[in-house]
Each structure stands twice: as C-alpha cells, then as structure tokens.
Structure 1
Amino acid sequence: MTSNIVETHGQIAKNYYQEGKRKKALAACKKAIELNQDVEIAYQVMGDVLKDLGETQAAGDAFAKLGEFYVSQAKYQKGAVAYRRATKLRPNYSVYYKDLGNALTHNHVYWYNRELKQILIDEGFLDEAITCYQKAIELGFNTFWVSLNLGDALTARNRLEEAASVYQTALRRKVQRAYPDFVDRYWNSAKVNGPDFIIIGAAKCGTTSLYEYMVEHPQIVQTVKKEIDFFINFERGLDWYLSHFPPTPKGKVNFLSGEASTSYFNHNETRTRLLEQFPNTKLIAILRNPVDRAISHYHNNRKYSGEKRSLHDAMHDEIEALSGLQDRLKGGGQYWKNQQGYLWLGLYVYFIQEWMNVFPPEQFLIFQSEEFYSAPAKTMQQVFEFLELPDYQLTDYKKYNKGSYSPAEEELRQELSAFYKPHNQKLEEYLGRSFNWK
C-alpha cells in the first residue's frame, strides 16, 4: 500500500511539471522525499523545477542529492551526470566537484574496475574528470585523493608528464602526513631510487594486508599508491613510474620504498623488464591455498565485475577449459574469451619457475597466507629481516579487503583440491618445502 502511495507522489510531481504547474510539482516532490521513497524521480523533478524558478543554489543541491542517491545504489555513471548538472548550476562550489570526482572514480580501489573505466572512456568523462579535479584544487579542495585521482585521469589521457608532476605533489602530501620530518630533511636532497622491493602476488592472497603492515615500518616510505602496474604498462615510461616513488636516502639509516602489483605475478614481460631496469629489487610472493584463492576471486568478480555464473558452473567451466590448455603461462586467446583465471592464477609453480629463471633465489621471499594470518608478527619479522631492516612490531594486525561469503560446498572443494593436487606437489618439490594445502 505504501509503495503505491509513494509511486503516485513521484508520478504526480512529474505530471505536474510536464503541465507547467511547478509549485504543485515541488510540493509533490517534497512529499515523496519525506516518505523516503521514489527519490530518484523526486530529486530529478525538484532540480528541474528549482532551476526553472531561478533558484540555482537549491537546484544544485537537489541534483547533488540525486547524485548521492545514484552513488548509494552503485549507479556511478548516473551519479556523475547528476553531479555534472549540479556543478553547472554552482560552478564555484568545491563540494560538488569533490562529489563528482568520487562518482567518476568510485570503486573500492580508485577506478581500476574495468567496467567503470570503460564507461569513463565511452562517455567522454575523462576530460570532465580532469577539469573537475583541477577546479576542485583551484577552489582549495586540494587533498591527496583529489591529486591522486587527477594523476590517474591524466594518465588515462596519456598526459604523462603532467600526471607525473601531480603524482609527486600527491606523494609529498602523503609522506608529509605520515613522516612529518621526512620531507624537510630529505625530499630535495635524496635520490629517487625506484623499487627496493615489489610484492608480486598472488592476487587474493593477502597482499594488501602485507603491504599495509610493511609501510608501518619507520624505514619504509610509501609510494603514491600500492598498485602501480607499470611493468604491464611499460609504454608510460620510466619517468612516469619513478614519479610514484619518494626520494629514499641511503646511508647510516636506510629508507626503502616499494610497491605491490599482483598483475606482475603472471605477466610474462614483467620479469625481463624489471631485470633490465631494477635488477636488485627484492621480490616477495605470498601464496594462499589455491582453492580458497579461486573461490575468493570468484566472489570478488561476482560483486564487482559482473560475474553471473554460479560458483559451481564457473569452476567447472574452467576445469574443462584448463584440461586442454597447452600453454599454462599464457592461457591463450580462446581460454580468455570465456574464463576469468580463477583456477589458472592458482597454478603457482609455473609462474614461480619463470620468475626464478630470471632472478636468483636469494632475491625472493615466498610464504603462505595461512601462516601470515595465523602468526603475522612472526611473518613480518621474516619480511623485515629479508629487507635487512630492524624488526618492528605493529599494535594491530587487522585484515584488509576481507571478503564475506558463504562457504563452498564440500563436494566442490574436494573437486578443486583434486584438480590442484599435482600442481601443488610440483610447487613443493620445486621450492623444497611443504604447504599442506587441502
């Protein structure tokens, strides 16, 4: 009953507006909003009515409310359109630009979600994003996140020199906040060395938690962001890559900096590119039971990337696809037409072998996610020792990017365990250690 009443208020508002009865339309909009239903139509009509009446500030606020509603529903494209209308009505109000930027770049990690990025390109929003961030900075809303997102938008437009400058500005602000004395003492005198370490993977194995724990160490200085993905976007150039790194002085007290891009783990050209540019970089890999990794990967795609299949169907589809796969390192075009790599990315041994064919074993630290989460302080002690840093104990080892979903059926888990068993055995033999995955 309530739903029908609310729908009527929204439709009445729309009808009144189309008939030119603006005041009645406005009253109907307010009633719909009061009932907290049908707000999409209500704010849309309200914004149009107030604009027609010359009440630009109130109209801008109505469209901003519409944008807020769309973003709450994960309708980021529509949210961006609503915020664009708000900025046109109040071009000097920085809050709208911030909200527009958030809508354009909204994702759990910036806007690297493929579908959202494609929307930005298809709809021509990249130039709009650049403009809105520049305007926000001009109006004084000059936060780290605004600068970072501006750098990302400039990068997507291939304006790499501008992006590099913006990244350095963002990074300086980030480092200043975390290390108040560092910028004054070292920023203009120390050298940018690039990565002292890289967490190469694997995806959905705890790399975010690992990186966040590492940068708590007082001698590890953060990059502008965790995942840079440079070695799979090598055409952006070394200057662009180095703009993500702080200057790190070497001497009596060494400071280190590094990144964590899980895309590197299974990318064939990354290994040789890294060797050519930074041959002494230390490499860290964290490996999770591949069954758990695959299930986590599936649920992540289900939530963020439009996966429609059931877990059972997705896993069985890939088992069948992998059974006839000739090149385990690349997968092949036919494989990637229909599969997401849920199981493929857990074939760790083949990727580790390729990495160790390029870099010597002493430059690697490889450990299990299960051990990492059960004894994080002990694991981090090993990490800092590997990096030749003094031990450092955190006050809290919280889990980052922790997923929440129902456990897989035991029969499916058994099938996946059987699929991985020979590959896990090869990994144990190659590394000379037991992982005890079931």
Structure 2
Amino acid sequence: MNLRKSAPRSLRVGGRKAAVWWGERTASRRPPPDFLVIGGQRCGTTSLFRALMAHPQIRRPQLHKGVNYFDLDYDRGEAWYRGHFPVRRPEDDLRVFDSSGYYMFHPQAPARIIHDLPEVKVVAMVRDPVERAYSAYKHELARGFEWEKSFGRALELEDARLKGEVEQMVADPSYQSFNHRHHAYRRRGEYAAQLAPFIDGLGADHVLVVESESFFADPLTDYRRIVDFLDIADFEPESFDRYNARPGTGLDRAVAAELRTRFEPHDAALAEIIGHPPVWRR
C-alpha cells in the first residue's frame, strides 16, 4: 500500500508545498541534475524512468518523475528547480536526473537547458512516429484533453489548432499553449528537428537516442548503453516492466499509410543522427 497516495489530498498538497519551500531554501546544497530524459511523449519514458531508478547510483527528483521546469515553470527560477533534487556532497558518486517529456518538443526548452546546464547529458526516446501519434491521440482522448472521436479528424485539425502557437510561445515566455501540448500528433514525431538544437548546443556526445522498439525488445542492451553513456557502474535491474501502455482499437490502414509517407523525410533525417535507419523503417 502506498501511504503517500492514500493520504488525504489536502495533506498531500500541503506536504508537497512544504517540501518545495524547504528545498528552495536549501538549494545551494542541491546540485542541478546530471542528465535529463527529454521525451518523447508516448515513447516509453515512464518505463525507462522506472528502470533507471533501479540503479543504485541514480536518484530522481523528490516529488515527481519530472519537474517540468524548462518548459512550464521556468519563471520560478533556478533555486525553485534545484530545490526538487536531493542534497548531495561533492564526494557522492551519484547521477541525479529529471524526466520531463515535454522538454524535447517545447520551443524554448532546448535553449534554456543549454544555457543553464551546458554540461548536462540528455537521453531521448523515439518511437515509430505513426504509432506514437495514434497512442498520443488515445491518451489525450482518455484524459479528456481531446474531444474528436476520430483520429483522422484530429489529424485534419492539427495544423489549424497549432497555427501561430509556437510564435506566441516564443514571443511571450509566460504563454502556455494547450493545443501545442495536447494536439500535436504529427509534429511530435518529427524527431530530428527536435534533437538538432540539443546536438548543436550540447554536442553529439552529450545526446543519446534510444529507440523504443529496441528498448522493449532487448532492454538490457539499451540499458547498458545508457549506463555507459552516464559513466556509472554496470548494473542489471531485476526486471524491465512496461508502464502506461494504452490499449485500443487498431489504427486505420489508410490513415497509417498517409502518416508513413509524411514521416519519410523526418525518419531519413533521424537516420543521419543515429547512424542507421530507425527500427520502424527497416
């Protein structure tokens, strides 16, 4: 039984506020994260998060899987952000991380990360963009953030829904776009364009791309790649479990074919980054 989740909501909210208050006031003893899991959405980041947490040298933020600082709460300031992480001594051989799935897609997040954490390493998970788009649609529909009952119709509306949103987000850093966050089914699958700022700003050696299909087919191999990337001790979790899978009816073949064609140039650009055709194009 999870005692924290069973507590009254008012008590949980009050406890979180107190923890953030105290964390912010002791921020100087809380170094920023060593690495970030930046997304993508519906690509298996929760499963990766759980696997990473099994490693004895890895620590998470204290309250949530991700802090969402560089995308949604940047105005709260560095002390607020660092207050979410554990106190560390210089001799502690740990790696602390933040796993926020919107960092990869938010138009301002890469520049903020590069400016504030120029030595940070980032791990990005990618998935067949056709399957990712459909999974995201089902996810948003189930959460009540999508109301179109047809995936095809939601795709038809995407350009209109997102028109001018990125421009407004860039012009006004306080603006948060509901449509950009919840209705970008195709655009979130254009991975190469999202990865480019991180590679250019941090260096290719600070960016690791993990293909979701490969991770779930042979998780230990990719886990060892990540461990090597983070320069920590070799370790094998007891199990690799899958979280947040979204069941539902199959994707319409005509819609899938249209999306597959649309993603061809984006998948080719991704292949240049990872050094081979992505799993879903082999």
Q: TM-score, normalised by structure 2?
A: 0.83
- What residue identity is the alignment partner of 1:165? W
Identify the residue that residue 186 of structure 2 maps to in structure 1.
343
1:200·1:285 contact (CA, 8 Å) conserved in 2? yes
- The number of residues matched between the two structures is 266
**Shift >6 Å, 4+ stretches:** 331-335
| Backbone CA RMSD of aligned residues | 3.1
Question: What displacement does 1:192 show?
Answer: 1.9
- How has the CA–CA distance of structure 1 residues 299 and 331 changed in structure 2, closer, same or farther, with 3 Å as cutoff? farther
1:164·1:239 contact (CA, 8 Å) conserved in 2? no
Identify the residue that residue 330 of structure 1 maps to in structure 2.
166
1:165 aligns with 2:21: yes
Q: Deviations over 1:211-267 (max 9, x none)?
A: 11011101112221211011121111111111111123444x611111101111122
- How has the CA–CA distance of structure 1 residues 164 and 393 changed in structure 2, closer, same or farther, with 3 Å as cutoff? same
Identify the residue that residue 416 of structure 1 maps to in structure 2.
259
1:226 aligns with 2:65: yes
Identify the residue that residue 387 of structure 1 maps to in structure 2.
230
Matches within 5 A, 1:206-285: 206-224=44-62, 225-232=64-71, 233-251=73-91, 254-285=93-124
- How has the CA–CA distance of structure 1 residues 317 and 269 changed in structure 2, closer, same or farther, with 3 Å as cutoff? closer
Question: What displacement does 1:382 show?
Answer: 0.6
- How has the CA–CA distance of structure 1 residues 336 and 401 changed in structure 2, closer, same or farther, with 3 Å as cutoff? closer
Question: What displacement does 1:425 show?
Answer: 1.2
Structure 1 counterpart of 2:139, from 262, 275, 300: 300
Structure 2 counterpart of 1:192, from 4, 11, 30: 30
Compare CA radii of gyration and give the structure with the larger one.
1
**Aligned mates of 1:422, 1:365 — CA distance in 2:** 21
Structure 1 counterpart of 2:39, from 196, 201, 216: 201
1:206·1:286 contact (CA, 8 Å) conserved in 2? yes
Question: What displacement does 1:335 show?
Answer: 11
Give the SS at the match of 2:200.
helix
Identify the residue that residue 315 of structure 1 maps to in structure 2.
155
- How has the CA–CA distance of structure 1 residues 332 and 192 changed in structure 2, closer, same or farther, with 3 Å as cutoff? closer
**Aligned mates of 1:250, 1:381 — CA distance in 2:** 25
Question: What displacement does 1:428 show?
Answer: 1.4
Identify the residue that residue 280 of structure 2 maps to in structure 1.
437
Question: What displacement does 1:191 show?
Answer: 4.2
- What residue identity is the alignment partner of 2:47? S
**Aligned mates of 2:21, 2:126 — CA distance in 1:** 36
Identify the residue that residue 91 of structure 1 maps to in structure 2.
none
- How has the CA–CA distance of structure 1 residues 335 and 263 changed in structure 2, closer, same or farther, with 3 Å as cutoff? closer
Which protein, 1 or 2, shows the higher relative CO under an 8 Å CA cutoff with sep ≥ 6?
Answer: 2
Where does structure 2 lack aligned partners over 5 or more consecutive residues? Answer: 170-176
